[in-house]
Copies of this chain bind each other. A is one copy, B any other.
Amino acid sequence: MPRRRITQTDVAAMAGVSQATVSFVLNGSTPAGVRISEETRQRVLDAIRITGYTANPAAQRLAGGGLAQILGVFTYEATFPRASRDFYGPFLVGIEHAAERLGVDLLLFTSAPVQDGRRRLTREGWQRLGVADGCLLLGQHEHRGELQHLLDTNYPFVFIGKRGSDGGRLPYVGADYVGGTVRQIDRLVALGHRRIGYVGMRGTDQPTLDRVDGYRSAMKAQGLTTRFVELDDVAATAAEIVDQRFTAVVVAPENHPEELADELERRGRRVPDDVSVLLLGQPHHPRRGGRPWSGFSVPREEMGARALYLLSRLVADDSPKRDRETGRTAAAADVELHQILVCPDVEGGTAAPPRDSRPETDNRTDPA
């Protein structure tokens, strides 16, 4: 027989006080003019210790009080399947770590139905969200309307990945793709490269926009001409790189860098001897015996962790309840809603000085 759980009333009985008193002791008492003597406090605490009482989260929640100590994680794609795992994995490591430190549980919204390969937040979904105190959102295929709704309902959430919409009310933890890309260009220039191409699908996702942005501004700052290769086909792309006599290219991981390099070598251009290839992020599908890429890496673990910490702050600020250790009713405003993390350089083996170091055919004034 699953004997009934210990309730505050039980504790109260044991301590010879009222249920309300127990509640006050547990919550640090503060309400209106309520005071509990140290003696009573101790008696209650003892009773709690003896009975092993712990609050029923459902009841707490219903009573509008305490947090459930549950933070949600909503991924726009299935989380664990092989392909996604490489992508989500690192984020989750960070998230889990942070969750452990924060002492919260993680709720994965696997119930949200998947439509066209992406998860949606249906009506029921919204209700489900309520079980968690707040929610982390991650994935590439977010739905604007849903985000807006989240914002409107004032539900605490944090997006993992920079998101520009809504003039900045949307909290996120992103990576500095712009800065990272700029640094790659600068590195290449320092090595002596001048003809530096950008390989990437036209994409409207934020990372792509940022990378292109970084490339553009860095090239401009160096007085070099920007050149994009935008072919769908890897072989064609490689051909174009050869044709254009690029001595280096930067490429986003989703554009099959490994295959591209293979194609280049098939055409007699060795990497990095003839062409340097810098990767703007980690490889998506690490291949056995793949190349040791140079470029930068996105600090995914840290992003995950930081995002959860941020969320935790938002939740706390949002909640009527204050931290009773410090006692301060902290001004909620001092949380940095937008965090951009540095993408550290990776020293691999795919960058080298151009073969014909510094040919005097200067490209600086090359017409587009």
Contact = CB atoms under 8 A, between A and B. Distances in A.
Interface of A: 1-3, 5, 52, 54-59, 61-62, 68-70, 78-82, 85, 89, 92-93, 95-97, 99-100, 103-111, 113-114, 123-124, 126-128, 130-131, 153-155, 288-289
Per CB-CB distance, the 7 closest pairs between chain A and chain B, nearest first, are A54-B127, A58-B61, A99-B110, A106-B108, A2-B154, A80-B93, A80-B92
A61 B107 CA distance: 17
Given A55-B127, A58-B62, A154-B2, A89 B80 contact: yes
A131 B96 contact: no
Copies of this chain, tallied across the complex: 2
A124 B288 contact: no
A111 B67 CA distance: 14
Given A79-B92, A288-B288, 16 more contacts: A3-B153, A54-B123, A56-B130, A57-B58, A57-B127, A58-B59, A62-B62, A69-B111, A79-B96, A82-B93, A96-B108, A100-B111, A105-B107, A105-B109, A105-B111, A107-B108
A58 to B, nearest CB: 4
A107 B104 contact: no
Given A2-B154, A114-B100, A131 B93 contact: no
B62 A123 contact: no
A19 to B, nearest CB: 15
A105 B92 contact: no
A265 to B, nearest CB: 19
Given A127-B55, A131-B131, A100 B110 contact: yes
A111 to B, nearest CB: 5
A61 B79 CA distance: 28
A62 B58 CA distance: 6
Contact of A131 (B70, B85, B111): B70
Contacts of A81: 93, 96
A81 to B, nearest CB: 6
23 contacts: A52-B123, A54-B124, A54-B126, A57-B127, A57-B128, A57-B130, A58-B59, A58-B130, A68-B131, A80-B89, A80-B92, A82-B93, A89-B89, A96-B110, A99-B108, A99-B110, A99-B111, A100-B111, A103-B113, A105-B109, A106-B108, A106-B110, A107-B107
Nearest to A290: B288
